[in-house]
Every structure is written in structure tokens, then in C-alpha cells.
Chains A and B, each alone.
Chain A
Amino acid sequence: MSSFRKAAAALAALSCVGLAGAQTMAISGIGRPATASELAAWDIDVRPDFKGLPKGSGSVAQGMDLWEAKCASCHGVFGESNQVFSPLVGGTTKEDVKSGRVARLLDAAYPGRTTLMKVATVSTLWDYIYRAMPWNAPKSLKPDEVYALVAYLLNLGEVLPENFTLSDANIAQVQGMMPNRNGMTTAHAMWPGPSMGNAKPDVKAAACMKDCATEATVASYLPEHARNAHGNLAEQNRSVGAQHGADTTQPAGARPVAAVSPKAGSDANAATVALARKLNCLTCHGMDNKVVGPGFREVSQKYATRPDAAAYLAQKISAGGSGVWGPVPMPAQTATPEEVRTLAQWIAEGAKP
């Protein structure tokens, strides 16, 4: 090697070292100690060993009152509702409370899984209700209220008797009654550290390249009636390219289209839909379907022949109401009068997209 090359190689080696071990310096003056009040305000987590659990208590009866006021509109009076969220209660038995394994999890024909069928740790219920419930007013519940709600839920699941009062003193015993407390395993390869599992990947495949055994039968595809269920797929693909979207408003096998642009909806209607979304109307009202309250078009249709529909609906939107479509009340809206008028007019005219 020439001396020039040697020098160049040495230089390159040096710069590599320089890069790999880029000089680090001590970091100071960044961050400050947290105060005790700050820690108390944010450190709300509760572990399965109840580290972090605030002292307190609440009874099944208190839980029932709270439930009906704050939880039932989404979860149903008995925690069984499937309308807005997955059911919380159902599918567990007295036998499960004894064994700690939910037997119905073995039955592939049993429809779905409730929270009580899955959850192994009572701390999880306490922690989650305290941090995130009610859905539209998270962190508004006091510890005693959370104890009462957990007690009520477990009473609905026939884990706790009606006269029970749950507290920090007896929650560890209640853990011993959770229906699926023995239902978890960490024997798998998908925890990204050595502290749990440590198994080898469970599904083994080989990369055969030629004349491989195949599964040559098409066993599943969407039925023809669901062809357009996700909207027109021609409008969900770029209008140029090697492949275009299939026009699913037409029967299968029809000539593919050259280019389809999105449907030209009215800009004014689109703006009103955006307004409804901004004001969170769409949380409770679907365009067509009932969620908590009626779908917008259901409302349009009900008042289609009423000449003062827009004014009537404006009044309903700003003042709130209940009893017309069901027992769950619609709260009064904080929208401006102009926004209320726009929404009411749009609904009265058919809630078009």
C-alpha cells in the first residue's frame, strides 16, 4: 500500500471512530424536580398489587345510582348493551368465580366476549374507570364513586352480593373472586423483553419455492350483496395508474371505468356535516342510523311535512330535550345561534351529504 493510501486509510478509520463515538457531553440544566402536588395530580395508575390505589369505599347500591346517571346511556342499564360499546357484563357463571377460568371462552360458538369474561385483574377495572370514565367527562369521578361502580359491575356479573361494600381493605379478597383471574398466559414469543414468555415463535412456516403444496380452493370471499358495502371502490383508488378501482355500483364483471372522481357533493352540505362533527353531534347521531339519538335523516323524515321544521329543530338543538325518540336526553348545545340555524335548516332539508 502506498504511503498516501495508508494515510488515507488511517484518516478514514479515524473519522469512523469519530462518528461512532461522537463526543457526548454531560447534560445539565434541563428539567426540574416534580412537586408533590404535581405527582399527586398525575400519578393515578393502580397496579394489580394495588400499588397506587387510593383509600376509600363504595357500595353496590351507590354504584347502581351512579351507573344509571352516568354510565347506562352508553353501556345499558345492566352493562349488557352492545349499542355504543362492547358489552361489559355477561357470560360468566358462579362456577367461573370458583375456578377463576371463564368456561364459555372454550365455546367457539358463544357470541363474543364481555369485559368480565376477559379481565383477570380487578385493579384494571378500577384504574380504567378512574382515568377514563365517563367517556365524555373522564377523570370526573371521585375514588369512592369508582369503588361503588366497580362493586356494582361485579354485582351485575354475580361476583359480589347486593349488600356488598367494596373498599381498599377488601379489594384483594375480591381479586380472588374474579371469574377469569386464572385465564391469562405470558407463554408466548411476543413480549419484547426477557422478563416474560421467552418462548420461540409459535407458528412455523417454510419458504418452499417450487411445486409447493397449496390450498387451491377459494374458501371465503365477500358475498355479492356486499359488493358496494364499503362505498364505490372506483372512488377509493387513484384515477390514473396500472390499476383503477372497480366500479362497485355496477355488477361484477362490468367494464372497468377509466377514471372516477369523487362524487361532487355540495360544499355547503359538506361544511354543515363538518360543523356537526365539530360540535360532536355525530357522537350520538349517525347520518342514517340511531347511535344514542336518532339518525339525522330519521329526524328529517319525521318532520318532512312540518312547515316550521327548521325553527322547531333549532329550538330543540339549543334547548335540548328528551322523550321524543327515547329516554336518553339530548343536552342543550353550546353552538352559536347561526350554527344552530344552519344545522336545523340542513336537517329540515333532508340532511344531505
Chain B
Amino acid sequence: MSDATAPPGRLIRAPESFLAKDDIRKVFAEGRAGRRDFIRSAFSAALASAAVPAALAQSNPVPTEGGDANILNLPAHTTGLGQGVASDGYGKPSKFEANVQRRMSPGLTQTTQSSVSFAPLQSLFGIITPSGLHFERHHQGWWDIDPSKHRLMVNGSDPKLLKTPMVFTMDELMRLPMVSRFHFIECGANTGMEWGNVAVPTVQYSHGMLSCSEFTGVPLKVVLDLCGVDYKRARYVLGEGADGSSMTRTLPMEMVESGEVLLAYGQNGEMLRPENGYPLRLVVPGVQGVSWVKYLRRIEVGDKPWATKDEAVHYIDLMPDGLHRQYSSIQECKSVVTTPSGGQALLDKGFYNISGLAWSGRGKVKKVDVSVDGGRNWRTARLEAPVLSKCLTRFNLDWVWDGKPALVQSRATDETGYVQPTFRQLRAVRGTRSIYHNNAVQTWLVQESGEVKNVQLS
């Protein structure tokens, strides 16, 4: 076989994993030797591969003879009998939408069970992620669990932290007072591959560990009340999964007391998908996805945090002083332009709608600014309703592309006044090795050819 052992392009390991020595040397060598020197400016980069945008088959040319064949020759769907109802008991997208898939990033992980698939943000509209396109992160493979056999147990680190340790069935949990809320979920390692340099070509791989759904369930507080939790002493909560990894994460009791934390079984009008924790998962708004424990089997209340594997070995952020930040959980304000974005090609000059997503783990998005000149001048985008707390917000902005190279960026501000930083601002404080919580402004270079490239400025 040709190059079976050599990965295509650069092999970048899983976000919370290790880079092989050779990869690290290559990254550092490239950093030192300077791709920086290779191209002096964004604009020369674009000019180097300049080509005029082509008028395309689909771009609606003026007909030369009589008119467009698609209009003049009536197609079968206009002249024939279509299909009947319920030909598919659970409908699927059009066959022409087959390109819109969640995908693994080649070379990122060595197994599929401890891995990630990324949501195709470049092809999504509005703020809701279709459940079948929701990003996946499994630590030890996913399961389709029989809900009639699933149980939730609530207990304490010591017997005095609650009156009665209890067991609930799904039937019982679904009888309890029900709420439905829209929230984003983002992996703490989203955009983690881009801390040091550009590593992936498209927004699917750079920002696709992000999804947003309407979740339905019962506030965890309701269930803790039933168990008679001693809220004076029990200031921490542990969630634990029923799968092989039995993932555990610590939450502060204050979040539970606020009523925000849900025991969720519903997602976008139906039950959770198996890949997303069917039949029960935690919803922890604004906090990184790893805390939204899937296949939730147990809640323990305690008086100290647990330092579990995913808060003591992974999901810890390395700072330049050699210390790791532990229990870093909130996803800070961030945004990204999803169209046009890396790996796409604009079909022609003229009018375009720049569209993207903004979110904050601390509340609502207040405004989003968009630049097409690499951050020199900004215009404020339209925020589409609804604008909800700890939820994706869709923004749009008119743009007339003059066919010249453009550096497209978005920058979000949340209701606390926090402004999304540039890479330079972020790295100045946190260095380049923290892996987690990269919320820097993303830059897309629209080249004269119309092709869009993922780039980082400095």
C-alpha cells in the first residue's frame, strides 16, 4: 500500500491528548522557521494564487435560446404523481443533502469509541442543531440503553448529607415538573487544535464540537429536595454515567440551586439520541460539555470536590507558569462566522450574507461585530431572535464582496461586558499549551479565487 503508515497531512492528536515527538518537533520547527516569513502579508498570500472567480453552471446565466431548460422542459415532479404519506415513518433529509454529515477529524484519535465527531456548522441555519448532526464525544463508546431498566440513584458522600438516598425510574422522573430550555453545549476542547497554529481547514473541525438544542427535563433541585438534601453542608454535586467510562464530574451546588441544572430526557421535541445520552443526561448551561454527564445513573452530594479523571488529568488548562488550572468549567464568550468559512468557495463577486453563531457561558450575547479587513474596521451585525441566555445566537450581516482578498472575522460581547479576545490577547495571558477554552476571534481569508482559507493573524 502507498503510505499506509503516514497520516494524510499533519497528524494532530485528540484535544486532551499527547502530540507525538515528531509532530511536536515539526510544529515547533515550523513555528521557529516561520511560516511567518514565508508570506509577509495576507494580501500577498491571496495574490499569489490569484484567479478570477468563475461564473458557474448554477449561477443563473441569461438564456441564449428561448429560456432555461429547467423552466421550458417540465420535469417529472411537475408532470407525474408523487409519493404517498408515511412512506418513511421517520422522515430523513433530502438525498441531495448527503454532504451534510458529522465527521471525525482524520488522525485525531486512534479509536472510534474514545473520539469526537464534529457538527457541520458550515451547513446549518438558525440556532438549533438537528439531533442527528449533534457533535459526539464518547469516552468508552456509546450505547442504546433500555429506558425501562435505567435507574437514577441519589446519595451522599456521607449519610448525613441527605435524609434518604433514593432510586428513581424513568417513568417517575418523567412525572415530575417539566421544563424546556434552549442551551448550547460546547466541548471544553473545541478549537483546541488551533491554540498554537492553524491545524484544520474548516469551521466543522475548528468549531464543530458545538451544538444547541431545546432540552426537556426536570430541574435537579426538585429531585434533591425529594431526598432531603442538607444544603448547608452539601455544597458540591457529582454526576456519574452508566456507561463503561462511568464519567464523573463535580458541579457547584449554587448552579443546582439556581434551577438551571436539568435531568434531561428530551431533545428537540423527541427523546435524547443514544449518542447524546439516552435516556437521561445532565444539562449544565454555560459549562463545558464534559459536565453534561450522559447515561446519568447517579448523583452524589458532598462537601468537597472529587478531582475525577476528567477534572484532574484532562480538562485542566496548562498555563505558562507550569501550573494547571483545575475546575475550569465556564465556556467564555465566543463567536464564529459559519458562512463564508474555510474550505468554501464564493461563486462570484457581489452581494453576500455573512452569517455566524455567538454564545456565552455567562449569559446572553449583547452584540456581535464583524470585520472584513482583518479587524481594522467593524460593523455591528443583526442578532436574530430569540437571543437567549447560554444559548447560541445567530447573527447576520450584509456584505458586498468586491472580489479582492478579505479577512473576515466576528467578535462577540456578552451581557457581562466581556469581549471575545484575539489570539494575541488570549495567548498573552494563557500561552499556547492550554488545549482547552480557546475562544479567540476566528479569521477566514477570502482569496481572489473565491476560495476561503483558515488563517491566523499576528
Please name all residues of chain A whose beta carbon is closer than 8 Å to the beta carbon of B155 when the two chains form the complex.
34, 39, 43
Cα–Cα, bound, A57→B263 (Å): 38
Interface majority SS (helix, strand, loop, mixed), chain A: loop
Chain B residues lying within 8 Å of A102, measured Cβ to Cβ, are 322
Asked whether A246 is an interface residue with its Cβ less than 8 Å from the other chain, the reply is yes
Residue in B18, B201, B244, B421 whose beta carbon sits within 8 Å of that of A230 in the complex:
B201
Interface SS of chain B: loop
Is the pair B111, A283 in contact by a Cβ cutoff of 8 Å?
yes
Task: Chain A residues near B421: list those with CB within 8 A.
Answer: 203-205
CB contact list, B93-127 vs A, under 8 A: 96-101, 103, 105-107, 110-114, 120, 122-123
Closest chain A residue, CB of each to CB of B302: A47
Interface flag for B454 (CB, 8 Å) = yes
Contact with A119, one of B40, B305, B312, B458 (Cβ below 8 angstroms): B312
CA distance A295 to B14 in the complex (A): 20
Interface: B357 (CB within 8 A): no
Contacts of B373 in A (CB 8 A): 214
Assembly CA distance A119 to B316 (angstroms)? 10
Interchain CB contact under 8 A, B10 and A237: no
In the bound complex, CA of A282 to CA of B113 (Å): 9
Give CA–CA (A230, B107) in the complex, Å: 9
Contact yes or no, B235 A258, CB < 8 A? no
Nearest-neighbour CB distance to chain A for B22, whole angstroms, equals 9
Q: In the docked arrangement, what's the CA distance between A197 and B329, Å?
A: 11
CB of A221 within 8 A of CB of B110, answer no
Q: What range describes how many residues of A lie at the interface?
A: 35 or more
- A322 contacts the other chain (CB 8 A): no
Say yes or no: B313 contacts A115, CB within 8 Å.
Answer: yes
Give Cα distance in the complex from A207 to B181, angstroms: 30
Instruction: Indicate whether A291 sits within 8 Å of B111 (C-beta atoms), given known contacts A38-B153, A39-B153, A226-B9.
Output: yes
Using A84-B111, A261-B99, A288-B4 as known contacts, say yes or no to A243 and B452 having CB atoms under 8 A apart: yes
Distance to closest chain B CB from A312 (angstroms): 19
A95 to B191, CA, bound (A): 35
**B 386-440 contacts with A by CB, 8 A:** 411, 413, 418-426, 428-433, 437
Q: Report yes or no: A220 in contact with B35, Cβ–Cβ below 8 A.
A: yes
B38-96 CB contacts (< 8 Å) to partner A? 39-42, 45, 49-51, 53-54, 56-58, 96
Complex partner residue of A215 from B99, B167, B307, B422, CB under 8 angstroms: B422
Contact of A237 with B99 at beta-carbon distance under 8 Å, contacts A132-B246, A218-B455 already known: yes
Q: With A197-B327, A219-B458 in contact, do A210 and B197 touch (Cβ < 8 Å)? A: no
Interface stretch of the complex, out of A104-112, A144-152, A155-163: A104-112
Residues A13-41 near B (CB distance < 8 A): 24, 27, 30-34, 38-39
Cβ contact within 8 Å between A34 and B165? yes
Is residue B180 contacting chain A, with contact meaning CB distance below 8 A? no
A131 within 8 Å of B (CB atoms): yes
Number of interface residues of B (CB under 8 A): 173
Tell me the chain B residues, 154-191 only, with Cβ under 8 Å from chain A.
Answer: 154-155, 157-158, 164-168, 172, 175-177
Minimum CB–CB distance from B133 to chain A (whole Å) comes to 12
Q: How far is the CA of A229 from the CA of B199 in the complex (A)?
A: 11
**CB 8 Å contact bits of A132-150 with B (1 = contact, 0 = none):** 1001001100000000000
A238 and B437 contacting across the interface, CB-CB below 8 Å: no
Tell whether, in the assembled complex, residue A191 and residue B41 are in contact, meaning their CB atoms are under 8 Å apart. Answer: no
Whether A42 and B455, one on each chain, are in contact in the complex, defined by CB atoms closer than 8 angstroms, is: no
Tell me the bound Cα distance from A191 to B284 in angstroms.
Answer: 12
Determine the distance from Cα of A194 to Cα of B287 in the docked complex, in whole angstroms: 15
Is B383 interfacial (CB 8 A cutoff)?
Answer: no
> Is A52 among interface residues, defined by CB-CB distance under 8 A?
yes
A interface with B by C-beta (< 8 Å): 24, 27, 30-34, 38-39, 42-45, 47-49, 51-52, 82-87, 101-103, 105-106, 108-109, 111-115, 118-121, 123-124, 127-128, 131-132, 135, 138-139, 180, 183-197, 201-212, 214-223, 225-231, 233, 235-246, 248, 252-262, 277, 282-283, 288-291, 295, 297-298, 301
What 20 new A-B contacts, CB under 8 Å, besides A108-B433, A212-B378, A243-B346? A31-B172, A47-B306, A118-B324, A124-B309, A124-B312, A127-B248, A138-B140, A205-B425, A211-B377, A212-B376, A214-B376, A215-B374, A220-B198, A221-B45, A221-B453, A223-B9, A230-B202, A244-B344, A253-B451, A258-B57
Pairs across A and B, CB under 8 Å, 23 listed: A39-B155, A42-B298, A45-B240, A47-B302, A48-B304, A108-B431, A120-B326, A124-B308, A138-B140, A139-B246, A192-B284, A195-B252, A196-B252, A209-B378, A215-B424, A217-B457, A221-B454, A223-B9, A223-B35, A242-B352, A246-B452, A256-B346, A298-B1
